[in-house]
């Protein structure tokens, strides 16, 4: 299982190669991976539906209790199935949508990487691994949204999405750490049994707030909903994927995953119902303001996400069943609708619904798919969306907290969603034909297969909801924590929920008839929206830029001496304070010094003094070099030959680099005043004294047992090497070394970029400077 997901990342890196081999068909070839995964998941389905929980254990960092264990239960099965099945169609669809696009390979790299991050997210049992995948989805979705990177709007939207979701990611990390402390485990599974202890814990409320911060930003809940419609700058296949089954459902997923351990408390129910209901209403309301087909669909996604959060908040058995059914229904119809939107955009050249009309005869397959999927969106008989909406009404009617509030908002949202569905289903395909940028015709088969299958499934599950009883039941079981048999049916008899459905149908159609006028009214509210949460986002972005440029001016002003002063002062201040307040200095100068040691030490000291007073730079460099070589000698004397060699080589290279730099510096000049020099002297002396005290102090004390004995004892038997230093570097502590390798590489790239940038700038300016002399 882990291999399949990590193999997917490898496949992603090979996408450019596949493109060379298969050309535009590469997407179809790559679809084999999610396709295979989906098949495999289908084979596992009977066992999972039987109540089994499959665990695929894999150690990662056992020392920190971090594993890459994957968990397959009802909830993750449902999500993984949606991700891989819709993933197949998106890949196939994208090969039609982006046919001939020069950056198709790049698109596939990121899309497959995103797919795998999402799979890892829903499968991970360990919270740390979960968080890693969570952040990976943020990063890859950033690249996907900003795919058209030459478009400033796309870049801006992508960055906005990244800021909001990554900011929420920080909150989520805090929540997960608190959860780890509260439950003393990193495993979601082990948290399950501790529900009551967790809910009664002192940290519960702050943890919940952080958790919601993470989940709400990711899943675009009010007031963070604005990034989602803006993310429409992405190519349509991406929107279809991000908005149907993946990215935006991640926040919902984590709430559902933790529901059995955390749900049901007063704060949980109140917060989730409140934010969910408000988001649902706002999403549905704003959807009607827009004429762009993608924006309209995006706001209806916001509506759906709000509904899901609200249902999780209500948390009764009915609500959880409604939650899972709604999740499934939404993934199917929203995937189909976005693909239809892409076909319309692709074949007509416009995204504006009000410009389309009469396309039904020209694009019959698309029209049918759009109709079926939109009926499901509107929750009309006999689609699966209807089943889900009936359940939703049913559970809202029985809500215990805020009941009138959620009931009213649900009804209003349902009405407006129906109007939006009617707009999407009817507007482009009926009425009279209008002038369009392109001559419209039916989309290619690769683009039609996705909507046809997904819309078909919406219809099939609607007509025979019994087919998904098992899948929904298993997922409900995981969300609820205990088994609950589910039996879905299309017809619930005449009850209040049905009446509400009929009311929303009637009023929704009425709104659809008068959509133009309705939009006119809404247009008057524009000044209000200008002050919405998005304005808050821009304000905070502005503030961040202001604060950081202020602190950059203060701290990072580019003068080496200021950096040094700052660093040393902080060091002296913090370390000195700790040393002075926590320890009684007991200095014993009774050191056993040999003659040759004293000589080396003297050499180094004189080197330091000379380096300070020498005026010619070359001499100063040489003096500093003397110190370095003295340190190397010390290492050799205390039998650390590896360190000695390293120090020697580093010194040599430092001298080389310094000379290269020195050649380019202007002549030495004394720019600092007398006072500044005294200040520098004080700081330097303080640092020197402090470090000396520190060393003397450390020599005397031993705060914890040395680990060298372990290293010495195990170097040969475990690491197969006699050179302990190297065994530590490449074996025992290889992860640290790996990190340092990356740091080194970054530093080199930084140096390169800095110098190159200046050189290029110089070259670019060169002609300008020469012009006056020519004239």
Partner 1 sequence: MVRSGTLILSVAARLLMPLQLLFSIFLLLRGHDEPGGGFIAGLVAAGAFALYMFAYGTQATRDMLRVSPRDLIGLGLFLGVISAFPAWWHDQPFLTAQWWTVPLINFKFSTPLIFDIGVYLVVLGSVLTAVIALMDTGHANE
Positions that interact with partner 1 (CB under 8 A) = 3, 58-62, 641-642, 645-646, 649-650, 652-653, 656-657, 659-661, 663-664, 719-723, 725-727, 729-731, 734-735, 737-738, 741-742, 744-745, 747-749, 751-752, 755-756, 758-759, 762-763
Quote the tokens at residue 460.
Answer: 């099939």
The residues with which 66 forms a beta bridge, in sequence order, are: 61
The half-sphere exposure of 50 on its side-chain side, counting CA atoms within 13 A, is 7
Task: State which residue, 598 or 661, has the beta carbon closest to partner 1.
Answer: 661
Q: Report in angstroms how near the CB of residue 43 gets to partner 1 at its nearest.
A: 23
Least distance in angstroms from the C-beta of 107 to partner 1:
22
Shortest distance (Å) from residue 60 CB to partner 1: 6
Q: Do 724 and 712 meet the contact criterion of CB atoms below 8 Å apart?
A: yes
**Beta strands per DSSP E along 285-401:** none
Secondary structure of 722-769 in HEC code, one letter for each residue: CCHHHHHHHHHCHHHHHHHHHHHHHHHHHHHHHHHHHHHHHHHHHHHH
Taking the complex as a whole, the smallest distance from the CB of residue 44 to partner 1 amounts, in Å, to 21
Q: Closer to partner 1 at the Cβ: 672 or 726?
A: 726
Please, are residues 409 and 277 in contact by the beta-carbon 8 Å criterion? yes
Burial group, residue 769, by CB count within 10 angstroms (0-12, 13-18, 19+): exposed
Nearest of 230, 250, 355 to residue 298 by alpha carbon: 230
What 3-state class would DSSP assign to 519? Answer: helix
Q: Considering the complex, what minimum distance in angstroms separates the CB of residue 718 from partner 1?
A: 8
Q: Which helix (H) or strand (E) holds 55?
A: strand 54-56
CB of 617 to partner 1, least distance (A): 15
Shortest Å distance, C-beta 660 to partner 1:
5
The CA distance from 759 to 693, in Å, is 45
| Crossing angle for the helix pair 364-378 and 403-426, to the nearest 10 degrees | 170
Nearest Cα to Cα of residue 489 among 511, 468, 514: 468
| Pick 58 or 407: Cβ nearer partner 1 | 58
Which residue is associated with the tokens 């998941």? 41
Complex with partner 1: residue 61 or 408, whichever CB lies closer: 61
Tokens of 137: 């989805």
Least distance (Å) between residue 716 CB and partner 1: 9
Helical H runs in 442-491? Answer: 445-463, 469-480
Closer of 28 and 723 to partner 1 (Cβ): 723
Taking a C-beta distance cutoff of 8 angstroms, is the pair 357, 459 a contact?
A: no
Nearer to partner 1, 59 or 609 (CB): 59
In angstroms, the CA 335 to CA 456 distance is 12
Q: DSSP readout, 579-621?
A: HHHH------------HHHHHHHHHHHHHHHHHHH--SHHHHH
Residue 617 CB partners (closer than 8 Å, separation 6+): 662, 665, 668
Identity of the residue, 103 or 760, whose beta carbon is nearer to partner 1 in the bound complex? 760
Question: Closest distance between partner 1 and the C-beta of residue 625, in Å?
Answer: 14
Smallest distance from partner 1 to CB 752, Å: 5
Of 358 and 719, CB closest to partner 1: 719
In the complex with partner 1, which residue's Cβ is closer, 403 or 723?
Answer: 723
CB of 104 to partner 1, least distance (A): 23
- Of the pair 610, 648, the CB lying nearest partner 1 is at 648
> CB-wise, 574 or 746, nearer to partner 1?
746
């Amino acid at each position: 299982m882990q291999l399949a997901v990590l193999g997917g990342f490898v496949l992603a890196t090979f996408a450019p190669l596949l493109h060379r081999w298969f050309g535009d068909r590469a997407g179809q070839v790559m679809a084999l991976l999610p396709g295979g995964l989906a098949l495999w998941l289908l084979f596992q389905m009977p066992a999972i539906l039987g109540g089994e929980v499959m665990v695929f254990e894999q150690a990662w960092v056992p020392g920190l209790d971090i594993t890459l264990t994957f968990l397959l239960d009802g909830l993750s099965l449902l999500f993984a199935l949606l991700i891989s099945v819709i993933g197949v169609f998106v890949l196939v669809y994208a090969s039609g949508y982006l046919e001939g696009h020069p950056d198709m390979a790049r698109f596939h790299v990121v899309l497959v990487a995103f797919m795998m991050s999402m799979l890892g997210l829903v499968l991970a049992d360990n919270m740390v691994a979960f968080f890693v995948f969570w952040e990976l989805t943020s990063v890859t979705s950033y690249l996907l949204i900003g795919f058209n990177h030459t478009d400033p709007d796309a870049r801006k939207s992508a960055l906005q999405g990244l800021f909001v979701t990554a900011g929420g990611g920080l909150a989520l990390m805090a929540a997960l750490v608190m959860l780890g402390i509260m439950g003393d485990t990193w495993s979601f599974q082990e948290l399950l049994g501790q529900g009551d202890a967790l809910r009664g814990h002192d940290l519960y409320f702050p943890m919940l707030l952080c958790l919601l911060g993470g989940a709400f930003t990711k899943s675009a809940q009010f007031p963070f909903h604005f990034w989602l419609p803006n993310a429409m700058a992405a190519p349509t296949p991406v929107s279809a994927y991000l908005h149907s089954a993946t990215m935006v459902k991640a926040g919902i997923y984590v709430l559902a995953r933790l529901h059995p351990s955390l749900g049901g408390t007063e704060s949980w129910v109140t917060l989730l119902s409140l934010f969910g209901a408000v988001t649902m209403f706002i999403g549905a309301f704003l959807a009607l303001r827009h004429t762009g087909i993608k924006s309209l669909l995006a706001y209806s996604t916001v509506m759906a996400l709000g509904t899901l959060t609200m249902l999780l908040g209500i948390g009764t058995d009915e609500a959880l069943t409604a939650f899972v059914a709604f999740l499934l229904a939404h993934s199917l119809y929203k995937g189909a609708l976005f693909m239809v939107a892409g076909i319309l955009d692709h074949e007509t050249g416009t995204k504006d619904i009000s410009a389309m009309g009469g396309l039904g005869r020209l694009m019959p397959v698309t029209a049918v798919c759009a109709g079926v999927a939109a009926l499901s969106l509107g929750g009309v008989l006999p689609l699966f969306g209807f089943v889900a909406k009936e359940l939703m009404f049913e559970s809202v009617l029985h809500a215990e907290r805020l009941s009138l509030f959620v009931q009213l908002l649900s009804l209003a949202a349902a009405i407006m969603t129906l109007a939006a569905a009617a707009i999407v289903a009817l507007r482009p395909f009926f009425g009279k034909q209008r002038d369009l940028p392109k001559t419209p015709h039916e989309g290619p088969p690769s683009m039609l297969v996705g909507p046809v299958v997904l819309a078909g499934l919406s219809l099939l599950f609607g007509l025979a909801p019994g087919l998904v009883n098992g899948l929904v039941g298993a997922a409900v079981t995981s969300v609820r924590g205990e088994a609950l048999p589910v039996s879905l049916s299309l017809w619930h008899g005449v009850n209040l929920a049905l009446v509400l459905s009929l009311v929303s149908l009637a009023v929704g159609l009425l709104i659809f008839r008068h959509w133009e006028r309705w939009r006119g009214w809404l247009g008057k509210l524009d000044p209000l929206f200008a002050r919405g949460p998005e304005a808050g986002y821009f304000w905070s972005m502005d503030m961040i830029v202001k604060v950081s440029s202020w602190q950059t001016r203060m701290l990072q002003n580019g003068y080496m001496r200021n950096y040094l002063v700052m660093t040393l002062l902080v060091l002296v201040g913090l370390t000195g304070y700790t040393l002075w307040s926590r320890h009684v200095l007991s200095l014993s100068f009774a050191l056993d010094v040999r003659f040759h040691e004293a000589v080396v030490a003297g050499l180094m000291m004189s080197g330091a003094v000379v380096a300070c007073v020498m005026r010619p730079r070359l001499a100063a460099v040489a003096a500093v070099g003397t110190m370095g070589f003295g340190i190397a000698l010390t290492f050799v004397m205390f039998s650390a030959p590896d360190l000695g060699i390293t120090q020697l080589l580093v010194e040599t290279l430092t001298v080389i680099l310094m000379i290269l730099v020195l050649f380019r510096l202007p002549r030495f000049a004394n720019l600092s005043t007398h006072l500044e020099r005294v200040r520098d002297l004080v700081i330097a002396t303080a640092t020197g004294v402090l470090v000396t005290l520190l060393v003397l102090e450390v020599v005397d004390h031993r705060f914890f047992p040395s680990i060298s004995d372990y290293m010495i004892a195990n170097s040969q038997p475990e690491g197969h090497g006699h050179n302990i230093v190297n065994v530590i570097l490449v074996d025992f502590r290889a992860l640290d070394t790996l990190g340092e390798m990356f740091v080194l590489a970054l530093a080199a790239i930084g140096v390169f970029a800095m110098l190159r940038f200046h050189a290029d700038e110089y070259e670019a300016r060169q002609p300008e400077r020469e012009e006056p002399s020519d004239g």
